[in-house]
Amino acid sequence: MTPVRPRRADATDAQVETVGVTPAPVSRADGPSALPDPGSAPLYAALDLGTNSCRMLIAQPMGSQFSIVDSFSKTVQLGVGLEATGRLSRPSMGRTIQALRICEKKLIKNGVGRMRLVATEACRRARNARDFIRQVRRETGLALEIITPEEEARLAVISCAPLVSPSTEQLLVVDIGGGSTELVWIDLSAVLAADRAKAIMRLHMGFDAQGDGPAARVVDWISVPLGVATLKDQFIDVDDDAARFALMSWFFEENLASFSPYNSDNPREGFQIIGTSGTVTTVAASFLNLKRYDRTKVDGLQMTSDQIDLVIREYLALGPEGRLSDPRIGRDRHALIMSGAAILQALMRIWPTDRLSVADRGLREGLLYAQMSADGVLADGPYR
């Protein structure tokens, strides 16, 4: 497989200017009393249809952040069989359309006025993706758009802006998806600490965006067509659990060789990795021994490479059956956690830091920030 190299954004890419908008942590309603007043601001939706999951958030702007009003997440395995056939299968499309029907009902029930519904790697690669998009429109009324790897990476980056440390000068954001993994290396050394979140948000305009205000320089970015599902499929014929894990980790690292900061000799001080994905949050939840997932404990957690390795060794010791029954992993994640852990281990082996910042946020949050910023409904608040 050949990694997708960076390219200039063209006129078909959705680009939203966010100059002057400061992101803040996402607020999630915990009950009826926490819900925002439905008449006070419009509702926005963001749907992310990936290789493995269909996920949606419905939110309302509140000051410089937003509050989640409703959400949906379902494992649909859209990319099952794609590696072998190059096409989306009928069963996987059927499962996905069932999930999208639920999303449609939630959008109607909540009276959502603005939405962006996107598909990523599986639909980028499948020969019958356009037919599938048309089928979704006929059967659900939802208009999906297939976004480029660059836009996917940009949206993941800006969603993580609130987690960037004021002392960070070199930032690596990693988004481990079902069908691909995006890495973006950003140089913040020329940006004042107080302006770094704003500088990252400006990347909505493109990775080579220029203009007034603080500039976050994208050193390089890459979209590797290996995610938790596609990497697992590459080594499905390897029977030994530990051997399969080791092969997956080294194979993923080989696919990073063309990424210019690969094995770069950078000092550990001032360098930060932020990881956003179900893999990263599952490893964090396992480390915290959470039998019931708690976003407030996971989002923003910092883990050392030794702590990550300890969790991965526990996963290997459990074996496939043990991972299936481990409540910290969950039945939707158990089959893919080792391929995700192989990617995570490779990244921690390469880069000049022994800490990872965990982000329970990503493409959907980025889509929400982009829409709200474009409409001017987010207040310009302080960096947090």
pLDDT at 189: 87
pLDDT at 146: 97
Tokens of 201: 């948000």
Asked if 57 and 112 touch (Cβ cutoff 8 Å), the reply is no
Range 153-168 average pLDDT = 89
How large a percentage of the chain has pLDDT more than 70? Answer: 84
Least confident of 23-32, 199-208, 334-343: 23-32
Q: Which residue has the tokens 């396992």?
A: 286
Residue 380 — very low, low, confident or very high, per pLDDT cuts 50/70/90?
Answer: low
pLDDT at 11: 30
pLDDT at 264: 58
User: What are the pLDDT digits (tens) for 94-130?
Assistant: 999 999 999 999 999 999 989 999 999 999 999 999 9
Beta-bridge mates of residue 265:
none
How large a percentage of the chain has pLDDT more than 90? Answer: 59
pLDDT at 26: 46
Range 78-106 average pLDDT = 95
Residues 6+ apart with CB under 8 A from 100: 49, 54, 136, 140, 142
pLDDT at 331 over 90: no
pLDDT at 140: 96
pLDDT at 185: 92
Q: If you average pLDDT over each of 24-38, 251-265, 316-330, which comes out highest?
A: 316-330
DSSP state string for 123-143: HHH-TTHHHHHHHHHHHH---
pLDDT at 74 over 70: yes
β-pairing verdict for 65-75 and 27-28: parallel
pLDDT at 65: 83
pLDDT at 217: 87
Q: Which helix (H) or strand (E) holds 302?
A: strand 302-304
pLDDT at 91: 96
pLDDT at 37 over 90: no
Range 367-378 average pLDDT = 86
pLDDT at 63: 82
Specify the higher pLDDT residue, 7 or 186. 186
Domains 27-149 and 151-359 share a fold: yes
Range 26-37 average pLDDT = 41
Range 174-196 average pLDDT = 90
Residues 6+ apart with CB under 8 A from 238: 244, 247
Burial of 192 (0-12, 13-18, 19+ CB in 10 A): exposed
Q: Report how far residue 22's alpha carbon sits from residue 161's, in angstroms, rounded to the nearest whole number.
A: 9
pLDDT at 14 over 50: no
- Which residue type sits at 10? D
pLDDT at 333: 85
pLDDT at 178 over 60: yes
Measured distance between the N- and C-terminal CA atoms of the chain, rounded to whole angstroms: 39
pLDDT at 40: 65
Rounded mean pLDDT of the chain? 84
pLDDT at 266: 58
Question: CATH says 151-359 is which class?
Answer: alpha beta
Range 300-308 average pLDDT = 95
Specify the higher pLDDT residue, 75 or 41. 75
Specify the higher pLDDT residue, 347 or 25. 347
List the domain boundaries for the chain.
Answer: 27-149, 151-359
pLDDT at 24 over 50: no
pLDDT at 109: 96
- Helix or strand or coil: residue 161? helix
Rounded to 5 degrees, what are φ and ψ at 15? Answer: -130, 130
User: What are the pLDDT digits (tens) for 199-256?
Assistant: 887 776 677 755 566 678 888 999 999 999 999 999 999 999 999 999 999 999 999 8
Q: What angle do CA 104, 93, 279 make, to 5 degrees?
A: 85
pLDDT at 341: 96
Question: CATH says 27-149 is which class?
Answer: alpha beta
Q: Report how far residue 63's alpha carbon sits from residue 191's, in angstroms, rounded to the nearest whole number.
A: 25
